Structure 1
Amino acid sequence: MSHVWPSPSQVCSALALVLGLAALWRWLRARGSPELRMRRVGTVSGLFLYPLKSCRGLSVDRAEVTELGLRSGALSDRCWTVMKEDGEMLSAKEEPRLVLISVTCEDGYIMLNAPEMKTLKIPLELPRTNAVRNCRRLGAEGEGRDCGEEAAQWITTFLNTRPYRLAHYEPNMMTRKSRDVLPEFETTDEVAYAEGSPILLISEASLDDLNSRLEEKVAITNFRPNIFVTGCAPYEEDSWSEIVIGNVQMKGRMVCPRCIFTTIDPNTGIMHKKEPMKTLLSYRKGTSTKQRSYKNLPPFGSLYGIEKTGVLAVGDPVYEII
């Protein structure tokens, strides 16, 4: 009788399955629970990352979730930033036209485009001779490598208000600690140039409910989530304390207090300063918090810390751990 031996790929697959089951058993044991109880609460309908802070987002079908947020190919969420010459990072709250800058990646270059501007090409691997600068936002400091004079001139010319520079976060640089900005986060939560949270999740039902109260509807791009979810009730995401999507586990830290950034038209770069903030304030109460700077701002969406990294995709079910 002849024997059919398993191929190397079959052996690897079996080994990966065994290791995965062992890891799950150890995780469950650490939780002190004989089984993981989960309830399906929705489905991922959109994934977005914003490579350059405050600029136009990218919609992707699949993304890696790292400790710092979403990553797709060579582009990571908010790992480039515009900053003032003193290192203070810039937000579209100060320069609304930032939302008109789009970012793509090709052949080892990040490419920036904006109305009436030539494409700016920046190598993903910046010269080590470029200075590493301190990057500061809301009192929390990180680091970034300066992208050079051509990038600084391009940004300065487009915004046309004052001199600015462009910086890039590289692995092993100092991150910004979420807790320095948002006390509800854990000491392990960190970001590169995001305001404070690595993940913002919003449901389609919440957006639909808001739009039912507005004369002029707004798009999800006004709110800049990383994960868009369908199949749940309006604002149900506020109550999800711990969720699993794909092989990613995230823990809800707090609802997201909204500011005048939401009033910037993502298609024109014009800040209207009224809607949708006026309507949100009329029916969404401010967050309960230790920090006065945002306690009266209306919540919309929820902020998450990363408990377990992995991969997720549009169409993945969203489970709440119960």
Structure 2
Amino acid sequence: MCRNGFEIRSTEGPTLARDHRRWETGDRPAGDAPGAGVDDERGEHLCLNGPSMEELRIPLKPPPGNPVVNCRVFSDDIQGRDCGDQASRWLSRYLDSGKTFRLVQFEPQMSPRRPAEQVALFPTSEKVAYPDIGAVMLLSEASVTELNTRLDRDVTVSQFRPNIVVSDCEAFQEDSWDQIQIGSVTLHRVMSCGRCIFTTVDPETGVKDPKQPLETLKSFRQCDPSEKHIHKTAPLFGQYYSVRRDGVLQVGDPVYKISH
């Protein structure tokens, strides 16, 4: 951990392009979740907002003179550039746990990690910074809609924190997309996403449900017995991909399934 730091999770996803997986900070209490986004005018600042909090604006790129701190993510060592005392004071005040929290950012020259636990399933070239498994996770809106037919209260796709959301397909069709192309980017499916208790936290309010939707997912989205050593009892919802060809993808791009 980075001085009691954890990756920002279970909050509404900011639009941070490729940098959004490079930030790490502390967990937070239940209640209204903080909002995050990028300055719309120049795209040079990360902006954080929270109830009864002034807006925090910090540079997307921390000053090079800021110290590099050692972090620990899932027992792996990794570094991060400290984002300064202003961010630390804001987060520590918001989290209100009596501890001091620091915000750090991963930089390209720092040594990345290999994906946790399921390392053998990813290409040897696959590296991550602060995510536990992989950097690209895809989920369809139809799968969330199907899940909602089984719940008393609907959830949104943001509750599952994908960074690629696909529309106009059938529920769970993404389970069979072994290789796809979106824009100029080619992606190869590595494994299903085993879901944990973070899915029970509403990203808009920060409030944790005692059971749902995790309990319902467990009732119909269990893995094949041959994969129990990987997922154990975690239900599967969404797919992890590795990037085979870099490029640009945009909202509205069609998704092509590549056949062999």
Matched, 1:102 2:39: no
Name which one, 1 or 2, has greater alpha-carbon Rg: 1
Change over 3 Å in CA distance of 1:179–1:307 after alignment to 2 = farther
* Partners of 1:206 and 1:235 within 8 A in 2: yes
What is the TM-score with the length of structure 2 in the denominator? 0.86
Query: How far has the Cα of 1:53 moved from its partner?
Result: 2.8
Equivalents in 1 of 2:50, 2:257: separation in Å?
A: 40
Residue 133 of structure 2, aligned match among 164, 189, 196: 196
Q: Which amino acid aligns with 1:123?
A: P
Query: How far has the Cα of 1:110 moved from its partner?
Result: 2.0
Query: How far has the Cα of 1:181 moved from its partner?
Result: 5.5
Could you say what secondary structure the match of 1:253 adopts? strand
Size of the aligned set, in residue pairs, is: 247
Equivalents in 2 of 1:58, 1:242: separation in Å?
A: 27
Could you say what secondary structure the match of 1:266 adopts? coil
Query: How far has the Cα of 1:174 moved from its partner?
Result: 1.5
Matched, 1:297 2:240: no
Q: 2:205 maps to what in 1?
A: 268
Equivalents in 2 of 1:76, 1:156: separation in Å?
A: 23
Residue 74 of structure 2, aligned match among 138, 147, 151: 138
Equivalents in 1 of 2:208, 2:77: separation in Å?
A: 27
More strand by share: 1
Query: How far has the Cα of 1:182 moved from its partner?
Result: 4.3
Equivalents in 2 of 1:53, 1:311: separation in Å?
A: 25
Moved more, 224-233 or 95-104: 95-104
Residue 24 of structure 2, aligned match among 63, 68, 81: 81
Matches within 5 A, 1:143-158: 143-158=79-94
Matches within 5 A, 1:162-181: 162-178=99-115
Q: Deviations over 1:288-314 (max 9, x none)?
A: 1544xx421000010001111111122
Query: How far has the Cα of 1:185 moved from its partner?
Result: 1.4
Runs of 4 or more, structure 1, over 4 Å off, are: 95-99, 179-182
Query: How far has the Cα of 1:99 moved from its partner?
Result: 4.4
Moved more, 106-115 or 259-268: 106-115
* Partners of 1:178 and 1:187 within 8 A in 2: no
Could you say what secondary structure the match of 1:267 adopts? coil
Equivalents in 2 of 1:115, 1:167: separation in Å?
A: 22
Indicate the percent of aligned positions where both proteins have the same amino acid: 38
Residue 114 of structure 1, aligned match among 50, 66, 84: 50
Q: 1:244 maps to what in 2?
A: 181
Instruction: Considering Cα pairs closer than 8 Å and 6+ residues apart, tell me whether 1 or 2 has the greater RCO.
Output: 1
State the superposition RMSD in angstroms.
2.2
Could you say what secondary structure the match of 1:221 adopts? helix
